[in-house]
Amino acid sequence: MFQRLARIVIRFRFAFLVFWIALAAICYLFAPVLGEVGRSDETSFLPDESESQEAGLLLAEAFPGDTAPGQATLVFSRPGGLTDADREYIGGLPALVLGVGSPEVLVTTVSEILTAEDRPELAPWLRSADGVAEIAQVNLSVGGFERTGGAAVRELRRLLADTLPEGLQGNVTGLAGIGTDYLDSALEATDRTTVVTVVLVVVILLAIYRAPLAALAPLLTIGVAWVVARGVLGWLAQAGWQVSSTLDTFMVVLVFGVGTDYTIFLISRVREELAHDAWAGAARRAVGRIGGVITASAATVIVGLSAMAVARFGMIRSVGPALAVSIAVTLVAGLTLTPAYLGLFGRFLFWPFHRRFRSHDGRRGPWAGLARAITRRPLVVTAGLVVALGIPALFMPSLRSDFNLLQELPPGGDGRTGYSVVEQHFDPGQLSPVSVLIQAPTLHLGAPGSLALLRRTHDLLAASSGVASVTSLVAPGGDNATPDGFRPSLQLADMAERLVPQEGDTMEALRRMLEEDTEGGLARASAYLEGLGAADPGLTELEAYRSALADLRATETAV
């Protein structure tokens, strides 16, 4: 089969070269960019049945419009403490970001900006206790890891750099800020990896063959295969196939690695065959004998990567088959484009040493000596290798996996710097709090018993390891303090104040206060206090509780 393929490729080498170059040009010019059509939000790859995904859907259903898809946190700080001018600037952020003349990406992406100046009730969360730092929360209509969210973050940073008062430091962090820095770092790493890989391949091939045309063969094959594979995956992603936008990083390493191997195998075999035959016959025999080897090697990799499709995590499930596609494209390019390129130059492929091909029996040279040493003492060599590989394996139990997104970012990045400011002056979990959704279809959450259950749940969460504070209905301040509206003594005091006759009240007005609605209200108040006592027996031991309940019952009886 491969002999026939070799004859076809060598015979129509110009057609194959034109086909591959044209296909690469089409993919480069017209295929969607993976970074734009691929998914960058890692949470979108989670299984639908995962608890966080289910909770997110329920949260959006229970509180429609209250949950923002993405959030950016603006952190402002001044070493000596924020000034009045600083706070005035922070208070003017909504007008600055969303006002007339604001960039379109901010107007269409930013849905709300929360500041302590506009929302004084949020001041305990948005202002640090030491007065050095303050937070402004920017809610986005898109995910923080999405491309549009990244554009909004970059525009926010540019806006702050142009308008910040002198001496005031401003950073954009939070999920959107950190996510933007993460994706930018991944793209930068891909570019660096590509450059370093190309340079290494060129240097190694020039050192091995000392022939510039031979060194170009792997680069041509790899480059064309990479561009075509990216184009194919871009179209698949546009059609609905889940593909990660960071796939490029994996593709560069894998395609360049296996592509170099495949072309080196072919070039080396052609060089050996040139000692016995003309270039056309040497190329045909090389493809015929090596084609099966590289096909089997590629098939093993393709099957292994395709097996990742059974993973539960969507990113792993999509990355494996996507990389398998790129390996398949590289294999086809290696079997067709590389031989066509070799046939184009013939014996001149190895210029300036194209006249020095000679046959050898393989019994000389360092590799032949190494082979003889291994075959003479196979057991000794095997035992030595097992020991050498076993020593690092002894440290496997101490291996710990870690998913710390901040540690993967550049130390001087804006998102990481802003997080450090938050960590110094606020609770670091404030940037990305965990939301716990409580469902009680059969309960009225405003009833005394339900409030008592919520209180116990609140206390259990607050006592959990790693939890700094809990904000809930029964403690909206996050400080475990019961709101005044939930205190029976204050409720009764407010009721009593309303029942006290005011100056100018007539007897007729006082009588109207004691109509049936008032009697019903007193009865409901008594039932409310009794329900609190039943839900929390500790209340019944308080003198204030017993006195308030007795007074209320006496008042109800008198009425």
Whole-angstrom distance, CA of residue 271 vs CA of residue 275: 7
Whole-angstrom distance, CA of residue 135 vs CA of residue 419: 11
Q: Tell me which of 242 and 230 has the higher pLDDT.
A: 230
Whole-angstrom distance, CA of residue 234 vs CA of residue 385: 43
Q: What is residue 539's predicted lDDT score, i.e. its pLDDT? A: 66
| Interval 17-31: pLDDT, tens | 999 999 999 999 998
State the virtual CA torsion across 516, 519, 523, 529 in degrees, nearest 10: 140
Residue type at position 90:
I
201 Rama sector, left if φ>0, alpha if ψ -120 to 50, beta otherwise:
alpha
Q: Say whether the peptide bond before residue 352 is cis (omega within 30 degrees of 0).
A: yes
DSSP class of residue 122 equals G
| Interval 93-104: pLDDT, tens | 998 998 888 888
Q: What is residue 124's predicted lDDT score, i.e. its pLDDT? A: 81
pLDDT band, very low/low/confident/very high, at 2 (cuts 50, 70, 90): confident
Q: DSSP H helical segments within 73-142, as ranges?
A: 84-91, 93-98, 104-109, 123-126
Q: What is residue 180's predicted lDDT score, i.e. its pLDDT? A: 87
Report the chain's mean pLDDT, rounded to a whole number: 80
Structure tokens, 146: 């999405």
| Interval 66-79: pLDDT, tens | 667 788 999 999 99
Torsion sign (Cα): 353, 358, 361, 363: negative
3-state secondary structure of 75: strand
Whole-angstrom distance, CA of residue 285 vs CA of residue 471: 74
| Interval 275-309: pLDDT, tens | 676 777 777 777 778 888 888 999 999 999 999 88
Average pLDDT rounded to a whole number, residues 119-125: 82
Q: Tell me which of 260 and 382 has the higher pLDDT.
A: 382
Whole-angstrom distance, CA of residue 121 vs CA of residue 530: 32
pLDDT band, very low/low/confident/very high, at 85 (cuts 50, 70, 90): very high
